[in-house]
Amino acid sequence: MELNSQPVRTGPLLAILSGAPFVASLDLFVVNVAFGDIAESFPGHSLGEFSWILNGYAIVYAALLIPLGRWADRIGPKRAFIAGLALFTLASAACAFSPSLWMLVTFRIVQAVGAAALTPASLGLLINALPAAKRQSGVRIWAASGAAAAAFGPVVGGMLVEASWHWVFLINVPIGIVLLYFAVRLVPDAAEKDPDAGMDLAGAALLTVGIGALALALVQGPDWGWTDPRIVIACALAAVTLIAFWWSNSRHSAPLIAPDLLKVRSFAWSNITAILFSATFAAGLLANILWLQEVWGYSALRTGFAVAPGPMMVPLFAIVGGALTRKYSAGRVAALGSALWAAGTLFVLLSVDTTPHYATQLLPGWIITGIGVGLALPTILSQATADLPAARSATGSAVISMSRQIGTVLGVSILIAVLGSAVDYSTFRQAWWVIVAIAVASAVASLGMTPSSSTDTASTETAGTKSVPRQGIPVE
């Protein structure tokens, strides 16, 4: 597919389209910091119920990424990008004025629909606009913009919460308006559309119900009791719907996860690693924020500054990770990053106690984990599509983004299940051990990301011969 014939200014285009992951990541980090203050505004709810502010967003975002990517194929990626960004911006304003917890969760779900539309459309527009030699670096910049939001998000979130947690959502409004203005004026649309692009809405519904039921069982288990009939039903529903999803996915003409792509070793293992690393990352981030606020008694602003040094390492070491992948395999670099995340978490686990000593107990470990994220996450994302034919890059990127969100849901849910209602020193130690274990599993899975034989190359070529959606780049 070619972009229309108007001149494309690569720099401004990259800045506008990289605003999509920036806004989504900024929203994630500022909401984490605001967790405690939101809870004070809506008393009478458990920690598990508040977790749906994060999980509701992540589940819907994961399930709709690929169907809405296909929708972008039908109507054109520019229209999809603008529609998604407008919906995300409006839903952010609605979140800010939510009168109850469940209204907030509802508008977070609407936010997720907008994010799921704008994300694949932005990447599709970007990939199509860049020459072949610049696509890999362009995707890394696109992903790194999310890391930049991670660096600034905690401090920005803390400062906003000092005024009111409502500003955590309102901050998206001016950013969204600016991006909308320049997107309309500067972003060229793709010249072709695909009115016949398939949308597996049934698969998306099954995945949403399956992951949602699993998350419900995990987060409500401590409150309801693990043998409560509601938990048993939720587990059974999760099992049935996820099995049904896989069966439906293997037979649909436009599946959420193309089975032939899973034959590409680097793609398959990158997705497994993305789920594991996103789970340990989401659980670790929320655990440290809850520790600072609930045990050490930090304010949101102080929490933001305390958390910031870790994410600030991410953009710097994303660059280092890119350099390392030119000398070592992507799998080894991602494994190193996962191992550093485990090591940093272990340092925190063995150092902290209920008497706050931030500089010696938390800061060193948090910096180590930030270095780990910088090495691991951009490497996982870029490796997922590195061995795919160009025409499958947009679809592959959507699947890896979906895997990240599924990992986030699992990580938050597992953390809530371990912490339960007793948020104290003992339960946090148990949670950190679980986070370390998941990080170690991520390190092991990372080693599978690097193709090891000609069989993998053959699988890649086979993947390139299948019928594909038009959003992406033609095979060259």
Q: What is the pLDDT along the chain (476 residues), one digit of tens a residue?
A: 444 445 556 778 888 888 877 887 788 778 888 888 898 899 988 888 888 998 899 899 888 888 888 888 788 888 999 999 999 999 999 999 999 999 999 999 999 999 989 888 887 788 777 777 777 677 767 766 766 776 678 888 888 998 899 999 998 999 899 999 998 888 877 655 555 556 678 888 898 899 999 999 998 888 888 899 999 999 999 999 999 999 998 888 878 788 888 888 999 999 999 999 999 999 999 999 999 999 999 998 999 999 989 988 988 898 899 899 999 999 999 999 999 999 999 999 999 999 999 999 999 999 999 999 999 998 998 888 888 876 677 678 778 888 998 999 999 999 999 998 777 889 999 999 999 999 999 999 999 988 655 445 445 554 554 434 433 332 23
Question: What residue numbers bound the domain in which 230 lies?
Answer: 201-251
Are residues 239 and 102 part of one domain? Answer: no
| CA neighbor of 18 nearest in space, from 153, 133, 173, 137 | 137
Alpha-carbon span 55 to 412, nearest angstrom:
7
Is residue 159 a part of any domain in this protein?
yes
Are residues 218 and 162 part of one domain? Answer: no
8 A C-beta contact, residue 231 and residue 225? yes
Query: 3-state class of 169 per DSSP?
Result: helix
User: What are 161-168's contacts with CB under 8 Å, separation 24+?
Assistant: 161/33, 161/34, 161/37, 161/300, 161/301, 161/304, 162/299, 162/300, 162/301, 165/34, 165/37, 165/38, 165/41, 165/300, 166/96, 166/97, 167/96, 168/30, 168/31, 168/33, 168/34, 168/96
| CA neighbor of 434 nearest in space, from 345, 333, 370 | 345
Are residues 386 and 366 part of one domain? Answer: yes
Domain boundary among 251, 284, 315: 251
**What token pair was written down for 201?**
């809405």
Residue 34 φ/ψ region, left for φ over 0, alpha for ψ in the -120 to 50 degree band, beta for the rest:
alpha
Are residues 324 and 291 part of one domain? Answer: yes
**What token pair was written down for 255?**
């599946």
Is residue 164 a part of any domain in this protein?
yes
Are residues 179 and 67 part of one domain? Answer: yes
Task: For residue 180, count CB atoms less than 10 angstroms from its CB and return exposed for 0-12, middle for 13-18, buried for 19 or more.
Answer: middle
Is residue 475 a part of any domain in this protein?
no
Q: How many CB atoms lie within 10 A of CB 202?
A: 15
**What token pair was written down for 70?**
């296909």
Are residues 258 and 247 part of one domain? Answer: no
What's the CATH number where 156 sits?
A: 1.20.1250.20
Are residues 89 and 49 part of one domain? Answer: yes
| CA neighbor of 404 nearest in space, from 376, 431, 367 | 376
Quote the distance between the C-alpha of residue 355 and its chain's center: 33
Alpha-carbon span 20 to 358, nearest angstrom:
33
201 contacts: CB under 8 Å, gap ≥ 6: 67
Is residue 137 a part of any domain in this protein?
yes
Is residue 214 a part of any domain in this protein?
yes
Are residues 355 and 244 part of one domain? Answer: no
Alpha-carbon span 89 to 72, nearest angstrom:
18
**What token pair was written down for 329?**
């395999």
Domain boundary among 251, 284, 314: 251
Amino acid identity for residue 54 in this structure: L
DSSP secondary structure code for residue 475 in this structure: -
H helix intervals, 164-228: 166-170, 172-186, 201-224
167 contacts: CB under 8 Å, gap ≥ 6: 96, 160, 161
DSSP secondary structure code for residue 412 in this structure: H
Are residues 181 and 164 part of one domain? Answer: yes
pLDDT at 139: 72
8 A C-beta contact, residue 207 and residue 62? yes
Is residue 470 a part of any domain in this protein?
no
Q: How many distinct structural domains can be found in the chain?
A: 2
Helix pair angle (19-33, 77-96), 10° resolution = 20
Is residue 140 a part of any domain in this protein?
yes
Domain boundary among 251, 272, 288: 251
Are residues 192 and 83 part of one domain? Answer: yes
Residue 189 φ/ψ region, left for φ over 0, alpha for ψ in the -120 to 50 degree band, beta for the rest:
beta
Q: What separation in angstroms does the CA of 339 have from each of 170, 269, 372?
A: 37, 17, 7
Which residues, listed in sequence order, are joined to residue 3 by a DSSP beta bridge? 190
| CA neighbor of 106 nearest in space, from 70, 52, 34, 65 | 52
**What's the predicted TM-score (pTM) here?**
0.85
Are residues 152 and 228 part of one domain? Answer: no
pLDDT at 195: 58
Alpha-carbon span 468 to 465, nearest angstrom:
9
Are residues 265 and 244 part of one domain? Answer: no
* Apex 213 CA angle, 211 and 214, nearest 5: 65
8 A C-beta contact, residue 274 and residue 403? yes
